[in-house]
Amino acid sequence: MDNLIICPRCSSDACYVDEVNQDIKTYFCYGCGFQTNSLMKEGETFYENQITVLPELYKDLMFKDGEKVWFPSMINVPTKGMVFANGPSAFNWTWGAVKAVPVTEEEKTKYPIPGKKGEYYEWRMDMTTLKEYHERDFMDALSYIEVLPE
């Protein structure tokens, strides 16, 4: 069952809940860009595995909703672009959005696909297109990389 709820973090009515199975639900808020799931609880193996690989900014921005822990999203659509939390601290951050550009023939050797000898990525994130968005402008950042319509 899929539905929309009020986000416990930002109070947006654009928080999408997806029931993966009877034990697991995912929560993704388009209002604030934060996400969680039923396994994202302190003490759970899934949570512990995630917390070890997350950037410090994501850990600093963590939000607890009762038992569940919410983190900023990182959206990467290889042919469109990427949206990510960006900044030096939880008190000074924005959503960063960059567009994807095709990898040229001249630069392809700079972008090898790990574990695939002789194969290269066809798209790369162009950091010169970085545009920053305020916390509540997550959907605008998605529109900038053309994942959502403007």
Residue pLDDT, tens place only, 75-122: 999 999 999 999 999 999 999 999 999 999 999 999 999 999 999 999
SS3 helix, strand, coil % of the chain, rounded to 5?
20, 40, 40
Q: Angle at Cα 108 formed by Cα 103 and Cα 109, nearest 5°?
A: 155
Tell whether the model's pLDDT for residue 1 goes beyond 70: no
57 and 84: one domain? no
Say if residue 68 is in the same domain as residue 79: no
In the sheet that holds 123-133, the strands lie side by side as 75-77, 81-89, 92-102, 123-133
Residue with tokens 């949206």: 83
Q: Which residue has the higher pLDDT, 67 or 134?
A: 134
Residue reference for tokens 């960006």: 86
DSSP 57-92: HHHHT-EEETTEEEEE--EEETTTEEEEEEEEETTE
Instruction: Compute the mean pLDDT over every residue in the chain, rounded to the nearest whole number.
Output: 94
Whether 88 and 49 map to the same domain: the answer is no
Can you tell me the mean pLDDT for 138-150? Answer: 94
With bands split at pLDDT 50, 70 and 90, how would you rate the model's confidence at 32? very high
Pair (16, 46) in one structural domain: yes
Question: Considering 31, 51, 72, which residue would you say is the last residue of a domain?
Answer: 72
Number of domains in the chain: 2
- pLDDT for the residue numbered 2: 60
Q: How far apart are CA 106 and CA 94, in angstroms?
A: 33
Task: Tell me the average pLDDT across 59-68.
Answer: 93
Is 62 in the same domain as 100?
Answer: no
Element of type H or E holding 47: helix 45-53
State both tokens at 89.
Answer: 């601290």
**Three-class secondary structure of residue 11 per DSSP:** coil
Domain that holds residue 49: 2-72
Res 149: pLDDT: 85
Quick one: pLDDT at residue 67? 85
CA distance 16 to 5: 7
Asked if 73 and 104 count as a contact pair (C-beta separation under 8 A), the reply is no
Q: What is the mean pLDDT of residues 60-75?
A: 94
Do 139 and 102 reside in the same domain of the chain? yes
pLDDT at 35 over 60: yes
Residues 47-67 have a mean pLDDT of: 93
DSSP one-letter code for 112: B
Identify whether residues 7 and 52 lie together within a single domain: yes
Does residue 142 come out as left (phi exceeding 0), alpha (psi in the -120 to 50 range) or beta? alpha
